[in-house]
Structures are given as C-alpha cells and as structure tokens.
Amino acid sequence: MTSVDRVTQQARSNPRAEAKSRGLLPSGEETGMPKLSPGKLSPQELTRLVFPYLGSPRPEALVGAALGEDAAVLDMGGDSLLVLSTDPITGAGQEIGWLAVHIACNDLAAAGAEPVGLLLTWLIPPHVAAEELAMMMSDADRAARSLGVAILGGHSEVTPYLPQLVVVATAVGKTPRGRLIRTGGAQLGDALYLSKALALEGTAILARELAEELRPVLGEELLAHAATFLEEISVVPEGLLAASLGAHAMHDVTEGGLLGGAWEMMEASACGLCVEEESLPIRLETALLCRALELDPLALVSSGAMLIAAPPGLLEEPFAQCGLPLTRIGSFHTERTLIFVKGGVEQKQVFDGREELWRALARRHDTPRRHDTSR
C-alpha cells in the first residue's frame, strides 16, 4: 500500500477528516471562532452572515430573501405570479415525507399562493434501508395528493457525511396578480389572528420521539392523540381563504414558535405588536407535554398554525362557516416593540432564535434532527 493509498483509506474511515481534506470544512474550524447553535439562525446571524451575499438583483424578483418572509416571488409575465419556497426537515424521525410536503406548501399559503408542484431532495445515510425510503416517499405522495400537488422531481443520494436523513422540499405555487400576501404587510390597527392552536407540530414530534419518557407521565391515550396532530399540519386552507378575503399579512408559525413568528411579522411590517397571552389557544395535550418536559410552548415549533393580520372582524364569520378554527390574539400599534400581556402586566419580548424542540430532543443524547429555515 502506498502512502497515498494509506492516507486515502484513513480519510474514508473518518468522514470528518475526509471532508476536511477535500476542503468541505473551513480551515479555521478549531481556531476559537464562534460556532453556530443548532436551530434556526437568529435574525442577527441572518443579517450578518447571509443577507449580504444574495447574488445579482433581477427585475423579475418581486420578493426575495428578507427577515420573516416565507417565500420568494417572481414575475414571469402573464396573469399569475410564481411563488417559491424551500425547507429541510431533519428532526422528525416519523412521517418525514408527510412533513416535508406540508411544511414547504405552508410557506406558499402564507403568501396567498396555491401550491402546484414540489421537488424533493433526499440525502440518505448508508444505514437507511431501501424500504424506509419507499415508506417516506409514500408519506410524501399521500401529503401531495391531499393538496392536489404534483411531485415533479428532485434528487436522491446516499452520503456518509450525515448522521441522520435530511429531506429538502422546494415548493412552487401561483397567485393572481394583486392578491400577493407578504409577512410585512400588517397595518396599524390590524388585528392579529392565529389559526388552530399553538405548537401542534412540536407536540406531535415530541409525543412520537420521546414516547417512552412521556408515557408514564401523560398516559398512552393522551400521548397517542397528541401524535395525531401531524395530520393537522397544513395551513393551506386558511391561507388561501384569508388571502381571498383581503388579509394584509400572513406568516407560517414554524421554528421559534409563536414568539419567533410574532417577532418576525412585527419586524417585517415595521410596526409594533401587542399579544394577549391569555387568549392564546393551547390544547390540553400541548400544555401537559410542555409541563412534563419543562418547555415554553410559546417557543415550540408550531407548523399547523398561521398568523394572519387583517382588519378586525374581517375573518371570523367566513372562517367559522368553513369550520376553520381562528382566534384573535392581538393587535398592531405604532411603537415598534413586541409586547405580551398576561394578567394585565405588559412584558417586552425579543426573539433570539430560541427553539424548545432542540432542547427537548437533546434529552436523547443524540443530535436533534429537525431544522426549518423559513426566512
């Protein structure tokens, strides 16, 4: 064996060393530079590390990368605008295909767009069996059919450089001209509404991933019901309805929970926001699970809920007629601060990128696996 062969063999037995030798890791990784924390990049990190490097501006790009915006929008001519979004799923061991489709399409719905198609990229560790991939694709197919969306293509490969499977879904949709909704469209005097309830996704994931720990505390029946919350993960119905009624702004409540979503919506709209904490809809299963794990439900990933800014009284009756749960939880004001009110006491809030799912999954002493990167 030559020295070159020996080095190559050693590198292949150590994927990290091989990645470093191929230039896939920064040379200064062990020089004491600050490391990024697991989870969604904070607004400060996005502003410093990502947004300065966005390529060449294009006249077709009506909406690009910005804090809080769920999707990009292109004007390619014609009667409709093209809306795009992309999201990875890395923290849900079960029904990952179902989640990937709905999470990506939810971002389109937040822009008032009808989902049309998806591209799925699967990055698969060698330990994943072929039958597992087929099952995950079956879940993705079921989700896509529930929305009337086509899976148009994508990419699949087995890679030794990841400890857990990653799927990235890119969704493409369309919306009529004049009906585009942005996260930053809230107006002074608008009411803030929340569809369904807090932390549905986080509750369902933890009920599945930490079932053994939670079963003695919550009981089998409650835990099983909490796991079914994944079936309610889509916000496409409420997004399209709110857009048709003339809502001013929407934001899919993903990583960072309600706290992160409300802060991003407030910042994008350049106005203040007051949230009545006691009006927030939270299910018994979520409250008990968060109490057992000592988590803050306000900062737990909440896909399945949509934040909607609209004139007071615009949405309640149509949503009720369609059987879509909706709760008024706050209002927008002039002072650019996020205030939560509980028991008549006001408390200013600042979002720092915190996500309670990561802290809970760390209990398993392995790498947490979900990362949603809504901008």
Tell me: the pLDDT tens digits for 124-155? Answer: 999 999 999 999 999 999 999 999 999 999 99
Question: Domain count of the chain?
Answer: 2
289 and 248 in one domain? yes
Given 159, 176, 193, the domain boundary residue is 176
Instruction: Output the domain CATH number for residue 81.
Output: 3.30.1330.10
CATH number, domain containing residue 263 = 3.90.650.10
325 and 215 belong to one structural domain? yes
> Would you state the pLDDT for residue 7?
38
Which pLDDT belongs to residue 293?
95
Asked if residue 8 is part of any domain, the answer here is: no
What does the pLDDT read at residue 299?
94
For residue 30, pLDDT over 80 is answered with: no
User: How high is the pLDDT of residue 66?
Assistant: 86
In terms of domains, do 170 and 188 share one? no
Relative to beta strand 72-74, strand 338-342 is unpaired
Q: Which of 176, 204, 220 is the last residue of a domain?
A: 176
Percent of the chain with pLDDT over 90: 73
For residue 91, tell me if it sits in a domain: yes
**277 and 212 inside one domain:** yes
**Same domain, yes or no: 312 and 354:** yes
* Residue 280 and residue 321 share a domain: yes
**What number is the average pLDDT over the span 282-289?**
97
Strand ordering across the sheet containing 80-89: 61-63, 72-74, 80-89, 166-176, 114-124, 150-158
Average pLDDT score over residue span 16-26: 50
Does any domain span residue 373? no
Average pLDDT in the 188-203 region? 97
Instruction: Please state which of the ranges 13-17, 153-157, 271-275 shows the lowest mean pLDDT.
Output: 13-17
Q: With contact defined as beta carbons under 8 Å apart, do 200 and 106 qualify?
A: no
164 and 190 inside one domain: no
Q: Are 371 and 272 in contact (CB under 8 A)?
A: no
- Statement to judge: residues 213 and 135 lie in one domain: no
d(CA 339, CA 337): 6
Q: How far apart are CA 30 and CA 33, in angstroms?
A: 7
Q: Residue 361 in 3-state DSSP?
A: helix
Q: Are 98 and 146 in contact (CB under 8 A)?
A: no
Note down the domain range covering 258. Answer: 183-363
**How many whole angstroms separate alpha carbon 264 and alpha carbon 223?**
31
132 shares a domain with 193: no
What is the distance between the alpha carbons of residues 226 and 210, in angstroms, rounded to a whole number?
12
146 lies in the same domain as 255: no
Half-sphere exposure of 74 (CA within 13 A, CB side): 9
| pLDDT above 50: residue 2 | no
> What confidence score (pLDDT) does residue 373 get?
34
Do 144 and 190 share a structural domain? no
* Per-residue pLDDT tens over the stretch 340-357: 999 989 999 888 778 899
Model confidence, pTM: 0.84
Mean per-residue pLDDT over the chain, rounded: 87
In this prediction, residue 1 carries a pLDDT of 47
Specify whether 143 is located in the same domain as 126: yes
What pLDDT band is residue 33 in, cutting at 50, 70 and 90?
low
Say if 12 falls within a structural domain: no
Q: Rounded CA gap, 43 and 68, in Å?
A: 9
> Under a CB-based contact definition with an 8 Å cutoff, are residues 48 and 29 in contact?
no
Between the alpha carbon of residue 222 and those of residues 124, 228, 291, 360, the distances in Å are 33, 10, 14, 19
Tokens of 357: 């799912």
Q: Could you report the per-residue pLDDT of 40-61, keeping only the tens digit for each?
A: 788 888 899 999 999 999 999 9
Q: State the average pLDDT over residues 77-81.
A: 92
**pLDDT tens readout for residues 313-334:** 999 999 999 999 999 999 999 9
Residue 192, both tokens: 């803030």
The confidence score (pLDDT) of residue 301 equals 93
Answer whether residue 156 is part of any domain.
yes
Whether the pLDDT of residue 196 is over 50: the answer is yes
State how far the Cα of 133 lies from the Cα of 120, in Å rounded to an integer. Answer: 12
State pLDDT tens for residues 260-269. 999 999 999 9
CB-side neighbour CA atoms (13 Å) of 162: 17
Q: Which pLDDT does position 17 carry in this prediction?
A: 52
Instruction: Specify the pLDDT at position 370.
Output: 41
Who contacts 352 (Cβ-Cβ below 8 Å, separation ≥6)? Answer: 42
Is residue 140 included in any domain, yes or no? yes
Percentage of the residues of the chain whose pLDDT score is greater than 70:
87
